[in-house]
Amino acid sequence: MTRGEDVLDKSSAAILAAIVMVVIIIVTVVLILLKTYKRRMSARRELEPKGLKLAVPPALDTNSSSSGSLRL
């Protein structure tokens, strides 16, 4: 093996190692972000009232005084 081939092998191995490290870092960051997102969403769901989905939206509520006062 010549000197040039040895340098080429070492540099290609270093480039490959750098690419692998970048991929590992990106996957780690994505997993951490997903974990924190899941934690926030589960905490938000726990704080929501249980009957929120069955409530009438304000735009369809006919007894709302705010919707009647906006009309002139």
Predicted pLDDT at 28: 98
> Regarding predicted confidence, which is higher, 72 or 27?
27
Taking CA atoms, 42 is separated from 8, 39, 52, 66, in Å, by: 51, 5, 16, 33
Q: Is the pLDDT of residue 72 over 60?
A: no
Distinct helix (H) and strand (E) counts, the chain = 2, 0
Structure tokens at 2: 């010549």
Predicted pLDDT at 33: 97
Query: Which tokens in the block code for residue 34?
Result: 């997903």
User: What is the distance between the alpha carbons of residues 70 and 18, in angstroms, rounded to a whole number?
Assistant: 62
The pLDDT score that the predictor gives to residue 66 is 53
Q: What is the mean pLDDT of residues 26-52?
A: 88
